[in-house]
Amino acid sequence: MADGNNFKFDRRSILESLGTAGVLIGISGVTSAAPGRDPGPKNSELIVGVDSDSSDIEAELSSRLPANAEVVHTNETLSYAAVSVSDEDGRPTKETVREDLLGADTVRYTENNVTYRTLEMTPLDSNATASDSEGDGDDAAPLYTPDDPRYGSQYAPQQVNCETAWEKTLGDPSVTISVVDQGIQYDHPDLEGAVSDDVSNGGSDFVDDDGDPYPMSASESHGTHVGGIAAGGTDNGTGHAGISNCTLLSARALSGSGGGSLSDIADAIQWSADQGADVINLSLGGGTPTDLLAEACQYAYSNGSLLVAAAGNDYGGSVSYPAAYDSVVAVSSLDESEHLSDFSNIGPEIELAAPGTNVLSSVPWDRYDSYSGTSMASPVVAGVAGLTLSAWPSLSSEELRDHLTRTAVDAGLSDVEQGSGRVDAGNAVTTEPGSSPDPDPGRCGDEVTSASVDGEFSGGWWGDSNDTFTYQLETTDPCRAIVSLEGPDGADFDLYLTLDGRTPTTVNYDERSVSQSATEEIPVDLTGNETLGILVRRYQGSGTYTLSVEERGR
């Protein structure tokens, strides 16, 4: 087989040259669902994984099934079948059927066809229309400012530094982002130029099996909103600005209720990979890992797709699946102040953070609305991945993943909250792959001033656990400052910072660094002669610490 880079090129060539014939390639190995199989959650079904060399999955399993059970769906590529078990008195239960199937030599695993759901909070303004809230924008913006009339009402593209990235690329349409979600309104004014025309109706429908991933009602808005964040038309004079102008694929796997079965989602991920999707966005999740979803994600990742998923909205709970799988980039949510969104899940699986609170995007029918959730943060990262691949098309999925984390920006959060940091489109697009971005990107001069102070907390928990300081910048024209803290081994100190001289607290601050360490650092860009307010907080341990400020002028 060709290496990763050449394989990626070949996959794109297939998409561009085959047109609707690509659909036939993409669904190879997936057998259509039996007539009457309900859309959405499928609680009466079992997933049965079989050996990959099984020649006839349905025939092998059917001989072991009782009269109240039948194979209703198979996927030869992922080597599994869905078995429906009806609840009838005197007949074997689903658990009995599961145990019997596990006795077959060719069966690798059995599990319930569980339901995964969208990871979106309640929308802010469900009555927003295409003519409302056009936004004023910033007429003095020095970088690339798109002409989308709602751009001034947005903050997510600006927060992840899209304007710097857009100076180089708005996104290459040959880069494809598949949205496994509810259906996308592919004729929305801000999306009709973004959704792929290389496949019928811009994607595939795994919910109703009718080939058309169009949303069924205005309430089925999640997929349109997610797609608009990642790749809504930018600089097209219409509506809002998406992160990129890459091409969207719509893989409808969630019903109008927001839920989708494990089998439909797994099929949609496999289909996306077979279509040649460079990036697959999964703004959905659940609390339980499953064999089938893990195998579907690994299949896509092994075939060159970068998978990006929402961490979950359980207010600090553990990272949801599929985001928690090693093959998937888990994304937490930030608000407009770059604080962790209160609803966002956290954990060691988090790789990147992105804006997910009150994010403006497209919704049916031809409207716009602001939603919150890690569902919104995930497509921001997916869109930045698309921009990055547009600028550096030779990157493999593994290299792209590494580059996004390497160029992320520290938001002053712990590793379990932000991973490598807040994703940064400008850094990712302008930084040579394999290197790190310049911490002072050409704006700061040679004038450097440094100062430090030593402090010591009293022993025990009954002493004062906070020390505060005020620092007046001394350079003529301040450009950047780095506030750093070094404490004794085994201690856990936190650092909080304000830029207007007010005394920071643990709930009132501009920047913070709170990793589980005695060493913390906060870099900040400066615009004038600010006075810094600094809080050193002892979380655990005591002893002497050194607080330092290094400032640089223009």
If you write DSSP's letter for every residue of 466-510 in order, what string do you get?
A: EEEEEEE--SSSEEEEEEEEE--TT-EEEEEEESBSPPP-SSS-S
**pLDDT confidence of 136, banded at 50, 70, 90?**
very low
| Catalytically annotated residue among 375, 397, 513, 515 | 375
Residue pair 311/344 in contact (Cβ under 8 Å)? The answer is yes
Same domain, 381 and 503: no
Give the count of beta carbons closer than 10 Å to the beta carbon of residue 187.
12
Give the count of beta carbons closer than 10 Å to the beta carbon of residue 122.
8
Which of 82-96, 99-113, 160-174, 503-517 has the weakest average pLDDT? 503-517
Give the domain CATH number at 58: 3.30.70.920
pLDDT at 491 over 80: yes
Average pLDDT of every residue of the chain: 85
| Catalytically annotated residue among 73, 188, 222, 403 | 222
SS3 453: strand
Same domain, 102 and 134: no
Amino acid 147: pLDDT: 94
Give the domain CATH number at 540: 2.60.120.380
Residue pair 222/375 in contact (Cβ under 8 Å)? The answer is yes
Q: What DSSP designation does 361 have? A: E
Give the count of beta carbons closer than 10 Å to the beta carbon of residue 473.
20
Q: Which of 94, 112, 130 is where one domain is finished?
A: 112
Amino acid 122: pLDDT: 54
Give the count of beta carbons closer than 10 Å to the beta carbon of residue 465.
15
Residue 124: its H or E element: none
**CA angle in degrees (0–180, nearest 5) for 258-260-266:** 140
Which of 39-43, 381-385, 441-445, 520-524 has the weakest average pLDDT? 441-445
Burial class (CB within 10 angstroms; exposed 0-12, middle 13-18, buried 19+) of 70: middle
**pLDDT confidence of 23, banded at 50, 70, 90?**
very low
Q: Is 181 part of the annotated catalytic residue set?
A: yes
Amino acid 199: pLDDT: 87
Same domain, 128 and 232: yes
Amino acid 439: pLDDT: 59
Amino acid 443: pLDDT: 56
| Catalytically annotated residue among 54, 148, 153, 181 | 181
Amino acid 353: pLDDT: 98
Amino acid 211: pLDDT: 81
Residue pair 472/500 in contact (Cβ under 8 Å)? The answer is no
Same domain, 323 and 465: no
Counted domains in the chain: 3
**pLDDT confidence of 33, banded at 50, 70, 90?**
very low
Amino acid 322: pLDDT: 98
Amino acid 2: pLDDT: 33
Which of 271 and 8 is assigned the larger pLDDT? 271
Same domain, 205 and 327: yes
pLDDT at 438 over 90: no
Amino acid 29: pLDDT: 53
Q: Which amino acid is at 307?
A: L
Evaluate whether residue 33 is within a structural domain.
no
Give the count of beta carbons closer than 10 Å to the beta carbon of residue 53.
7
Amino acid 128: pLDDT: 42
Q: Is 222 part of the annotated catalytic residue set?
A: yes
Which of 127-131, 306-310, 337-341, 464-468 has the weakest average pLDDT? 127-131
483: closest CA among 446, 516, 525, 515?
A: 525
Same domain, 329 and 423: yes
Rounded to whole angstroms, how far apart are CA atoms 365 and 402?
38
Amino acid 474: pLDDT: 84
Q: Which amino acid is at 353?
A: A
Read off φ and ψ for residue 388, nearest 5 degrees.
-65, -45
pLDDT at 497 over 70: yes
Which of 94-108, 373-387, 465-479 has the weakest average pLDDT? 465-479
Residue 393: its H or E element: none
Amino acid 137: pLDDT: 36
Residue pair 537/496 in contact (Cβ under 8 Å)? The answer is yes
Evaluate whether residue 7 is within a structural domain.
no
Same domain, 201 and 296: yes
Rounded to whole angstroms, how far apart are CA atoms 46 and 97?
9
Same domain, 184 and 295: yes
Read off the pLDDT of each residue in 432-445 and give the average, rounded to a whole number: 69
Amino acid 36: pLDDT: 52
Q: Which of 88, 112, 136 is where one domain is finished?
A: 112
Amino acid 85: pLDDT: 93
Residues with Cβ within 8 Å of residue 151, at least 6 apart in sequence: 135, 137, 145, 157, 240, 241
Same domain, 122 and 268: yes
Percent of the chain predicted with pLDDT > 70: 86
Q: What residues make up the domain containing 509? A: 448-553
The two structure tokens encoding residue 448: 């450097």
Q: Which of 376, 400, 430 is where one domain is finished?
A: 430
